[in-house]
Structure 1
Amino acid sequence: MSTQLSAGGAEVTVDQENGCRISSLRIDGTELLRQGPAYGAFPMVPWCGRTENGRFRDGGTVHQLPVNHPPHAIHGFGRDAAWRRVRDTGTEAAFTYDLAEPWPYPGRVTQSVELSADALTLTMGVETYGDSFPAQAGWHPWFRRTLDGGPEARLGFAAAWQEERGADHLPTGRRIDPEPGPWDDCFGMPEGVDVTVTWPGALELRVTSRSEWVVVYDEDPEAVCVEPQSGPPNGLNTLPRLVTPVDPLEISTTWTWRRLP
């Protein structure tokens, strides 16, 4: 089962049965996302990127997550779950997913998808059913490196810093000046994420978010990834953000596009 949204020349497909991922984003008939059941643009929740050795501490308790990308746990459980559609107007839809084992805390995740003729806005919220717990949320889009055989996509952004990446692919805790790609790296943008993906002669797409963290990945020959998220990789351990009964975690991102001559 999937949900279809359309506005102007834009069409979106949400595959709620397969992690509530955006499985297709077409502009004037051109597909922007890498196709396949593991790709599209999926929500990362209740954590983003790698969690070191699948373990995180909450107070005096150490929790062990399944190690799905040895030696770490990666990208959360939401991308593998079936979500439930709770609203669909044709241009906007909302979906929910209940956190459960092996995540150690009960809670609910809500994702809304809103489409206009020149923008897609994704919003995610994480709330608890009981005790407070650390969590993260974000998105992992796989944008096609080329559109219909055209020039390769170009990435444009100005980060305040780059998280130094260790041999284990986790941030070392040291902030460095941004380095040239290729990247599988986390960057800090204190005034909000702002990254442009440009397919010369075809389309420019701008990824923005009020969050200050973004992972940029362009080591794949078929795609480039711009991942706005609420904290850095391994953030359950290094920068925990508590979800409490009165303070849920909320994050949003907007992708705007314009056609190029």
Structure 2
Amino acid sequence: MDKLSVIGVVLALVAVLIGSVLKGAGLSSLWSPAAFVIVIVGTVASILLQTSMVTFKRALKLTKWVFKPPSQDRAAILASLVEWANTARKQGLLGLESQVAEQQDEFTKKGLQMVVDGIAPDAIRAVLETDMHHQSQGDLAAAKVFEGMGIYAPTLGIIGAVLGLIAVMKNLADPSKLGGGIAAAFTATIYGIGAANLFLLPMANKLKALINGQNEEREMIVEGLIAIAQGENPRNIESRLAGYVHH
């Protein structure tokens, strides 16, 4: 569980809710079904028009990464690569065959199997880098779903405010309705700007950072597997890949 994400969500809610109370607006002023429909439903509608179904489903799956990011233990990966290099040096590449089935990560499993099969290092690199590219492009497209929602939400908030003001203008003859009507109109703006800047855009940026980190991790795996396939000294492999761990 990513504690910073949980703390961030809690503080975001506290900032809006407590801030509303301290400003004298009260919690009731933040509730508006009309604003919810215009901003939230409208934002979802906009992103559905922009996004393919495959990308949208992928974005929903990546949402959990914000609170439970994928494991990125590079020290453990380096230790495994060095261990495999030692095994390959003592027993040959076929000595790694028992390790293939133990791998939970499909990318690592595929690469290690190619090494065991004796495929040429250049061919291994080409296949794994192609997989990396398509995986990262798909994940980044999914992260941009939240970025797109963060762009549309404030604009829809303005639309909600304008629609609210139009309703107020229709009641100019009744001054008692003006104050509440104007306050309700600006609730939509709060929904749009708040959702974008407190949740959607930060989520998109966090997912992008996690995806970039996963790419670096896979680059490390590729370099390590290629070095093993080329029969490099385990100590040299460890020294060369240590930079990924320190970074």
| Greater helix share, structure number | 2
Pick the TM interval, shorter chain: under 0.3
Q: Which has the higher contact order (CA 8 A, sep 6+)?
A: 2
Give the alignment's TM-score, normalised by structure 2.
Answer: 0.27
Structure showing greater Rg: 2
